[in-house]
Amino acid sequence: GAVVSQHPSRVICKSGTSVKIECRSLDFQATTMFWYRQFPKQSLMLMATSNEGSKATYEQGVEKDKFLINHASLTLSTLTVTSAHPEDSSFYICSAREQGADTEAFFGQGTRLTVV
Amino acid sequence: SQQGEEDPQALSIQEGENATMNCSYKTSINNLQWYRQNSGRGLVHLILIRSNEREKHSGRLRVTLDTSKKSSSLLITASRAADTASYFCAPLGGAQKLVFGQGTRLTINP
């Protein structure tokens, strides 16, 4: 099956710094990528939908200036957590789908972010 | 977009037994997808069933869909310890976004 690679898998950063997470589709072109956040023992919360070549669409309550999303190519989307704070510590997961409504999504391995 | 609601929230069974989990949703769909998540990992796609299908099989997995009741079920037969995970359904309608409910936490006891 298709592979989505997410990097890094774990990152620890200091409060006030920014962290970039990459999501790559390795063997298909992903017109759309999605970014999720997951707290322990909870479900995935959709943060934003990333469309190649255009601005991301953020879900209600998600700060776009806090979570910067760039989808510069059909195989790469990045999520930058700016001025990170301890409450931003979470598990972030990306997913990608090929064009078309009737397709499954492929997920990255997730990134465990810890802000100290 | 809509999310599915999985039931039960948690399920614990003995290895070798069958596990059944259910999903309900509220509006019309194009397809419904089931995913598995092992602890601390991303989701893995299991099976996709289209709105005009009633049942689908994949290995030890059997998925049913009842669009009149807006519900789906996932059956895992002859469960194994490796099946221990959280399972999520994702009903997909006109919107392209996959939104997830709380999932079913399945524990297979040896």
Q: Does A13 touch chain B (CB under 8 A)?
A: no
Structure tokens at B56: 């689908």
Query: Hey, of B45, B58, B106, which one would you mutate to test binding to chain A, going by the most A CBs within 10 A of its CB?
Result: B45
Q: Does A42 touch chain B (CB under 8 A)?
A: yes
**Percentage of residues in chain B having pLDDT higher than 90:** 83
Residue B1: its pLDDT value, please? Answer: 63
* Amino acid occupying residue A13: C
Q: What is the mean pLDDT of residues B2-23?
A: 95
Residue B84: its pLDDT value, please? Answer: 97
Written as tens digits, the pLDDT of chain A (116 aa) is 678 999 999 999 999 999 999 999 998 888 889 999 998 888 899 999 988 888 899 999 999 999 999 988 889 999 999 999 999 999 999 999 877 656 788 999 999 999 99
Distances in Å between the Cα of A29 and the Cα atoms of A21, A51, A55, A96 are 19, 12, 18, 9
**Is residue B81 pLDDT above 60, yes or no?**
yes
Q: Do B98 and A110 touch (CB under 8 A)?
A: no
Shortest CA gap A85–chain B (Å): 21
CB < 8 Å to B43, chain A = 44, 93, 95, 105, 107
Residue A41: its pLDDT value, please? Answer: 83
Question: Is A36 exposed, middle or buried, given 0-12, 13-18 or 19+ CB atoms closer than 10 A?
Answer: buried
CB < 8 Å to B44, chain A = 107
Residue A1: its pLDDT value, please? Answer: 65
What beta strand segments (E) does A30-89 contain? Answer: 32-38, 44-51, 57-58, 67-73, 76-81
Q: Which residues pair with A106 in a beta bridge?
A: A96
Residues 6 or more apart from A13 whose CB is under 8 A from it?
A19, A84, A113, A114, A115, A116
Let me know: does A48 contact A37? Beta carbons within 8 Å. no
DSSP A7-30: E-SEEEE-TT--EEEEEEESSS--
Nearest residue on chain B to A98, alpha-carbon basis: B96
Q: Which residues pair with A51 in a beta bridge?
A: A32
Q: Do A102 and B31 touch (CB under 8 A)?
A: yes
The rounded distance, in Å, linking the Cα atoms of A73 and A9 is: 21
Structure tokens at A14: 């200091």
Nearest residue on chain A to B47, alpha-carbon basis: A104
Residue A98: its pLDDT value, please? Answer: 79
* Amino acid occupying residue A94: C
